[in-house]
Amino acid sequence: MTAYILWSVPSIIYGGYFLLSVMSGQQDHFALTDFQKSMFRAGHAHAGVLVLLALQIQTLVDATKLTVFWQWATRLSFPIAAIFISSGFFAAAIGQGVTKPNQGIFILYFGILSLLIGLITLGIGLARK
């Protein structure tokens, strides 16, 4: 699982490079609103932080007394949260001239639920140890 998570980091790096080019005015043809720029920054930041968290919990899961099913559910919930939370920020701002979240914001809530399930399960597993 750790290898798969690490393999996602280059896409986050590329996203940061692209975002930097947008913020520095090199991609003016996109004509993004300030709202879109802030949502894209938030999506990128959440992707990076949550991927780091997903990497860290892989070792913490080994220290739990969870069943194999719950270990894997916990291991998967964090990278899933990283994908859906960051995607929710991006999806909520897609479109031309968008100035408030659209229906794509629901994706973010699915990611939050995945993160919450993972955190609670990991906490229970560590407390049982």
User: Scanning the structure block, which residue is given the tokens 């699915």?
Assistant: 110
Residue 50 in contact with residue 115, Cβ under 8 Å?
Answer: yes
How do residues 21-79 score in pLDDT, each as one tens digit?
888 878 777 788 989 989 999 999 999 999 999 999 999 999 999 999 999 999 999 99
pLDDT tens-digit series, residues 104-116? 999 999 999 999 9
Query: Hunting for tokens 């049982």 — which residue is that?
Result: 128
- What are the boundaries of each domain within the chain? 2-128
Report if pTM > 0.75. Answer: yes
